[in-house]
Each structure stands twice: as structure tokens, then as C-alpha cells.
Amino acid sequence: MNKKDPNKPLVSVILPVYKSEAHLDECLESISAQTYKNIEIVAVVDYLGDNCLKILRKHKTIDKRLRIYKNVQRYGLARTLNRGVRLSRGEYLAFMDSNGVASAQRISKQIKFLSENKKAAVVGSQTVLISKNGKKTSQSQYPLSHEDIYKGLLSGETFKFESALIDKTRLPNDIFKFNKNRLYP
């Protein structure tokens, strides 16, 4: 288990879990291996028909920062994310895909960016897609300038929310709500 640093703000990693048993171990290991240590992992299981809950419980014995919740029925991604946000305690929110893997410096780099850019409230990243056998298949080409990011916000083409880190103190509370009426919240 990694020790928390009480001098750094808490980051809540919101992890919606749905049919991801094939990659969940690797995902959890990448979160636990973050160089930024003061995190909590808020895992919300939205499907109980596979071994994800068992995998999460195994990881909880290794990393006490993991908190596990399960939905009583299938609610979908938006409601699961909203529940994770409500259960979070951190000043920062980081989002993670349960089929994804984060670089070890992801949160450290994002915290550093937000601390150096006081007008920014959210930072995302490029993403690399990998095949089932671990080979890189493509890399995102999201915009890098503020102006280009702003232009694409409504279309959702500026970054994947699963790579986002949000400073909750810089945004109104009512903005932390995912839209359940859309295919991709």
C-alpha cells in the first residue's frame, strides 16, 4: 500500500466498472502506481454478472485507498459517474475507464498543470488506443490550445472525460453532473 501525503490535496479517482474483468487488474494497478500518492479510488460497479467485484475486493486488500460500491441494478454510465462524484471526498476529481491504463505520472502532471495555470479548472490528455494483445493501434489528436478546446467543448471532441482531472474549487457544484439522456454522457 502507498502512503498518502497529507500536505497535498486529495484526488478522488472515479472508476465506473462495467464488464471489464479482462483489464480491471491492470487498470487498478496503474491507479495504485500513481506517483501522486494522496488519492482515493471510488469504484462503482454497474454490472454484477462477472468477476469485477471479486477483482476489486482483492485489490482492496492491497490498496486501502480503494472504496467499492455496487449499484443494485444496471443504471448506466451517467448515473454511475454521478454516484461516484457524490461519494468522492477529494478537492480534485480524476476520471478513469475501467478498461484503461494510466501512465504513472498522469495525476502528478495534471495537478502540476492546474497549480501552474490558475485560470484552468480542468485538464485532459491525449489517449493511446491499444489492441487486446497490447499493441498500440492509434493515438488521439485532441486540440491543444485553449481556443481550439473551447470551440469543441459542446461536441465533446476536445478530450475523453476518462482522462480528465477537475479542480472542484474552480467550478460551481452543479456542473458535476453527467447527462443520463445521452449515449455518451
Looking at the structure, give the CATH architecture of the domain made up of residues 11-124+162-175. Alpha-Beta Complex (3.90)
Q: What is the pLDDT of residue 146?
A: 67
Q: Using alpha carbons only, how large is the chain's radius of gyration in Å?
A: 16
| Alpha-carbon gap, residue 167 to 11, rounded angstroms | 9
For 32, 61, 72, 81, 176, the CA distances from 179, given in Å and listed in that order, are 29, 34, 20, 10, 10
pLDDT band at 87 (very low <50, low <70, confident <90, very high): very high
| Alpha-carbon gap, residue 160 to 123, rounded angstroms | 10
Taking only the tens place, the pLDDT of each residue in 26-81 is 999 999 999 999 999 999 999 888 999 999 999 999 999 999 999 999 999 999 99
pLDDT band at 2 (very low <50, low <70, confident <90, very high): very low
pTM reported for the whole predicted model: 0.84
| Alpha-carbon gap, residue 153 to 87, rounded angstroms | 26
Taking only the tens place, the pLDDT of each residue in 154-166 is 555 655 677 889 9
Q: What is the pLDDT of residue 121?
A: 87
Q: Domain locations in the chain?
A: 11-124+162-175, 127-159
Q: What is the pLDDT of residue 13?
A: 98
